[in-house]
Chain A
Amino acid sequence: MFKEQIGKQSSKVKNVVERGAVKKFAEAIGDLHPIYFDEDTGRLSKYKANIAPPTFPRTFDYGDIVGLNLPAKGLIHGEQTFHYERPLIVGEEVFCYSKVKNYFEKKGNFGEMGFLVIESFGDDQAGNNIFSSTSTVVISEAVRKVLVK
């Protein structure tokens, strides 16, 4: 069911690293360091600006992958990676998209588990990559049965 989706991707969506969103996110992960929100700290830093925490790309819109219908419930987040070329700068525009990198099934303690690997990207306006990430989502047999219906 997910195997046919491998290689499919979404169209790029323009996101902005919003000042308020970065502060709220930093607060929510208990990392309210001034480099994330204080303008003077940003200006005096080597970035000449504020930056965003490494897991901030969780908040971006990556667009929809046509044909990929994930259930709203019953998914388990198994693994997550981020790779950066440089930190994200507050105020910049980031063009984001996702693709289905892989899908495989393995027998586990809870029956046949499905592993869906989604790879996501954030590029600058010129198309240079800033970050990429992968999320491995575990889908139990029970949830897959509901999806087939």
Chain B
Amino acid sequence: MSSLLALQVGESIQDIQLEPVSRMDLIKYSGASGDFNPIHTIDDEAKKAGLPGIIAHGMWTMGNLAKLFTSYYEEGFVQDYSIRFKGMVFLNDVVTLKATLKEKQEQLLRFTVQAVNQQGNEVLKGEVVYRQY
């Protein structure tokens, strides 16, 4: 898809499937974001918190999902981005990012967005309102 303009209600932006989540992904995100909560990087800390293992930052997944829209920067920008975190993302999970156009109102494109894991379970879902210039 070269332009969001061509997208019809009900159609989706091309899904993006991420590489399996690695510890280095989460170490990098900790450093880049400043969120050093150890449940994202250190096994013992995750276990102490009652988790089976380290989990991805919700914001890592939310940050990743926004890239569905990045290449359209000449057409507009993400005006609103709202997410509810629904499930945890563990090491080696394969996350797929999705966005479907739900509504068009003048310059605003309202998308339903979600990230699902390899079992098809939603790990986050929400909405992007894209404002076109």
Residue of A29, A46, A81, A82 touching B67 (CB-CB under 8 A): A29
Would you call B82 an interface residue if the criterion is a C-beta within 8 Å of the partner chain's C-beta atoms?
yes
Residue of B60, B70, B80, B84 touching A35 (CB-CB under 8 A): B70
Q: How large, as a class, is the contact surface on chain B?
A: 35 or more
**A55–B66 contact, CB under 8 A?**
yes
| Assembled-state Cα–Cα distance A121/B60 (Å) | 21
**B82–A81 contact, CB under 8 A?**
yes
A33 contacts across to B, CB distance below 8 A: 67, 70-71, 73
**B133–A46 contact, CB under 8 A?**
yes
Q: How large, as a class, is the contact surface on chain A?
A: 20 to 34
**B66–A29 contact, CB under 8 A?**
yes
Within 8 A of A (CB), among B60-114: 60, 62-64, 66-67, 69-71, 73-74, 77-85
| Assembled-state Cα–Cα distance A24/B38 (Å) | 20
Given contacts A53-B70, A58-B59, A81-B83, A28 and B39 within 8 Å (CB-CB): no
Given contacts A33-B67, A35-B70, A80 and B78 within 8 Å (CB-CB): no
**B64–A29 contact, CB under 8 A?**
yes
Residue of A53, A72, A77, A79 touching B66 (CB-CB under 8 A): A53
Q: List 8 A-B contacts (CB under 8 A).
A: A28-B32, A36-B70, A47-B73, A53-B67, A58-B33, A59-B34, A79-B85, A81-B81
